[in-house]
C-alpha cells in the first residue's frame, strides 16, 4: 500500500493536532484520536475493497520476431460500477527488452482500456508471462493498493522475416506468409551480330536501330545455386553485440537469407554447428525448405561448449556432392593460424566457395578512437585495437585459403551477405 498526497496531508494534520493536544488543555485538540482511528479504518476499507474489486487483464500478442521491436497489447477490463484508476508496471518475461515505464489509466465503469507496450525479443521460443504488476487507487482516494493481474499468456518469438526487402527479392507477402512469384527462367547473356539461322524473336530491335544493323540477343538459363547455411551455435554465440547475442543475429540473417534464396529459386540447406552438428538439412527449393529451416532455427540456443567447425565441414561435404556456396556465420576473433575454422575451410575449398562472416560491435570502433578521459581508457582502447587486429588477421588467413571473409556490424550483416550472394551469382563464381 502507498499513501496518496491526500492521506499524507491528513496524517500530518492529525499529527499536528496531537502535538497541540500535548501542550494545550483545550478539549477540542483531543479529537485527534478519533481522526487517527477514522483514517486507519478508511485505509483498511480501501485495502479490502481493492482486493475484492473485479479487475482483469488480457494480452493480445501479434507475431513477435527476434530482434524486431513489436507491440504487446494489454487489455484491462473493469467489472465494477465505478471508474478505476490503475497504474501498470508491465515487466515482460525474461528474454525481452522493454522500456520499463509505468503507465496509468482510468477505466470507465464496466469498460475496457487498451495499453500498447513496445517489446524487443532477444531470445527465441515461447515465453510465459504469468502476472501483470498493477495497483489500484482506493475509492476514497487515500491510497494505492497492489492488485496484480494473473495473465498466463504465452509469447512466441520466431526468427525475423525478410520484410520490405522481400519485394526486391521477388516475394509477395501477406502478414508473415511468403510465397514465390514466377520468374522468366532465362536471363540475357550478351548481344552479337545477327546470323541468318537466328530465330526472328531473338532479334533486339532497339539495339539494331542504334547500331544500324541486326543484333541478336543470346539468352542463357538462369543460374540456380545450392547454398548451405552454417550457423555457429557454440560458446561464442552467447556474447552480446549491439543489444542481442551473436546467435540471435546469425539466426535472423539465416532465416531471411533462406527466404531470399527461395525467391531466386535457389536451393538452400542448413547445418547448425555446436560441439557436434545439431541440425543437418539438405539443400532444397521452395516454401517447404524455408519452413523447415525456420522451424530448426526457432529451437536454437547457444551452448556453453566450443564449436567443432571441422565436424560441420565434414557434414557439408557428405551432404553436398557438387559445388555450392557456403555461408558460415561464426565469430572470427582469434581464428587465425591452425584453428578449427581454418581446418574446416581447407576441407571445403576449392570444391566449394565459403563466405565467412564475422561481427564487430559499434562500441569497439568508438572505444578504439575515443579520447582518453580516465586512467583506464588507454588500456581499454588498446584491447579494442587488439580485437580489431585479430579480426583482420583472421580475415587475411581466410582470404589466403580461398574463402571470402566479411567483417561487418550487426545492423549491416544481412545486407552484406545478400550483396555478396548477388555479386557471386552475377559473376558466376559458384
Q: In the predicted model, is pLDDT for residue 428 greater than 60? A: yes
Where are the strands (E) in 41-158, listed by range? 55-60, 64-65, 70-78, 84-88, 96-97, 103-107, 112-121, 125-132, 134-137, 143-146, 149-158
Lowest mean pLDDT among 135-144, 186-195, 246-255, 419-428: 186-195
Q: How many CB atoms lie within 10 A of CB 71?
A: 13
DSSP H helices, 320-376, are 340-348, 362-369
Q: What percent of the chain has pLDDT over 90?
A: 21
* pLDDT, tens digit, 9 for 90 and up, residues 194-225: 987 788 888 999 999 999 999 998 876 556 78
Instruction: Check if the beta carbon of residue 247 is closer than 8 Å to that of residue 233.
Output: yes
Instruction: Check if the beta carbon of residue 416 is closer than 8 Å to that of residue 357.
Output: yes
Q: In the predicted model, is pLDDT for residue 308 greater than 50? A: yes
3-state SS class at 229: strand
Classify domain 165-181+223-426 at the CATH superfamily level.
Answer: von Willebrand factor, type A domain (3.40.50.410)
Name the helix (H) or strand (E) containing 329: strand 325-329
* pLDDT, tens digit, 9 for 90 and up, residues 160-197: 887 544 444 333 444 444 444 444 456 677 888 998 77
Q: What percent of the chain has pLDDT over 70?
A: 92
CA atoms within 13 A on the CB side of 374: 5
Whole-number Å distance between alpha carbons of 430 and 424:
7
Whole-number Å distance between alpha carbons of 57 and 90:
11
Residues 112-122 have a mean pLDDT of 88
Name the CATH architecture for the domain at 55-158: Sandwich (2.60)
Task: State the pLDDT confidence band at 315, using cuts at 50, 70 and 90.
Answer: very high
Task: State the pLDDT confidence band at 410, using cuts at 50, 70 and 90.
Answer: confident
Q: How many CB atoms lie within 10 A of CB 277?
A: 19
Burial 319-343 (b: 16+ CB within 10 A, else e): bbeeebbbbbbbbbbebbeeebbbe
Q: How many CB atoms lie within 10 A of CB 378?
A: 10
Instruction: Calculate the alpha carbon distances from 192 to 147, 218, 428 in Å.
Output: 79, 7, 21
Residues 105-123 have a mean pLDDT of 89
pTM of this structure? 0.73
Whole-number Å distance between alpha carbons of 343 and 310:
6
The pLDDT value recorded for residue 292 is 92
Grid look-up 524487443 returns 120
Please report the DSSP string for 86-118 in residue order: EEE---PPTTEE-----EEEEEPTT-EEEEEEE
Amino acid at each position: 500500500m502507498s499513501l496518496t498526497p491526500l492521506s499524507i496531508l491528513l496524517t500530518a494534520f492529525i499529527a499536528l493536532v496531537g502535538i497541540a493536544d500535548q501542550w494545550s488543555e483545550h478539549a477540542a485538540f483531543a479529537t485527534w484520536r478519533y481522526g487517527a482511528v477514522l483514517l486507519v479504518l478508511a485505509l483498511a476499507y480501501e485495502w479490502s475493497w481493492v482486493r475484492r474489486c473485479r479487475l482483469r487483464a488480457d494480452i493480445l500478442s501479434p507475431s513477435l520476431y527476434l530482434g524486431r521491436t513489436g507491440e504487446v497489447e494489454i487489455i484491462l477490463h473493469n467489472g465494477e460500477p465505478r471508474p478505476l484508476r490503475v497504474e501498470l508496471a508491465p515487466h515482460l518475461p525474461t528474454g525481452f527488452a522493454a522500456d520499463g515505464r509505468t503507465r496509468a489509466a482510468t477505466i470507465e465503469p464496466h469498460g475496457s482500456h487498451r495499453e500498447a507496450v513496445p517489446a524487443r525479443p532477444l531470445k527465441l521460443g515461447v515465453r510465459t508471462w504469468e502476472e501483470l504488476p498493477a495497483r489500484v487507487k482506493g475509492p476514497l482516494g487515500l491510497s494505492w493498493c497492489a492488485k496484480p493481474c494473473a495473465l498466463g499468456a504465452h509469447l512466441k518469438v520466431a526468427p525475423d522475416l525478410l520484410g520490405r526487402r522481400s519485394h526486391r527479392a521477388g516475394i509477395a507477402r501477406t502478414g508473415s506468409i511468403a510465397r514465390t512469384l514466377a520468374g522468366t527462367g532465362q536471363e540475357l547473356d550478351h548481344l552479337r551480330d545477327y546470323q541468318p539461322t537466328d530465330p526472328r524473336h531473338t532479334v533486339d530491335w532497339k539495339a539494331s536501330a542504334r547500331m544500324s544493323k541486326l543484333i541478336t540477343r543470346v539468352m542463357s538459363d538462369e543460374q540456380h545455386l545450392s547454398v548451405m547455411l552454417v550457423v555457429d551455435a557454440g560458446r561464442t554465440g552467447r556474447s552480446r553485440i549491439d543489444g542481442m547475442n551473436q546467435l540471435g543475429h546469425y539466426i535472423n540473417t539465416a532465416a531471411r537469407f533462406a527466404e531470399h534464396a527461395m525467391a531466386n529459386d535457389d536451393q538452400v540447406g542448413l547445418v547448425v554447428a555446436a560441439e557436434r552438428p545439431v541440425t543437418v538439412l539438405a539443400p532444397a527449393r521452395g516454401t517447404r525448405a524455408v519452413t523447415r529451416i525456420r522451424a530448426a532455427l526457432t529451437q536454437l540456443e547457444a551452448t556453453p561448449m566450443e564449436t567443432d567447425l571441422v565436424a560441420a565441414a565434414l557434414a557439408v561435404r557428405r551432404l553436398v556432392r557438387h559445388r555450392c556456396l557456403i555461408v558460415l556465420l561464426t565469430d572470427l576473433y582469434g581464428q587465425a593460424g591452425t584453428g578449427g575454422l581454418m581446418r574446416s575451410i581447407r576441407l571445403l575449398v576449392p570444391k566449394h566457395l565459403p563466405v565467412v562472416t564475422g561481427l564487430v560491435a559499434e562500441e569497439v570502433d568508438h572505444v578504439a578512437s575515443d579520447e582518453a578521459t580516465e586512467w583506464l581508457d588507454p588500456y581499454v582502447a588498446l584491447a579494442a585495437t587488439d580485437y580489431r587486429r585479430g579480426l583482420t588477421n583472421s580475415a587475411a588467413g581466410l582470404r589466403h585459403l580461398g574463402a571470402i571473409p566479411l567483417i561487418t556490424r550487426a545492423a549491416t550483416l544481412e545486407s552484406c551477405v545478400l550483396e555478396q550472394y548477388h555479386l557471386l551469382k552475377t559473376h558466376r563464381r559458384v
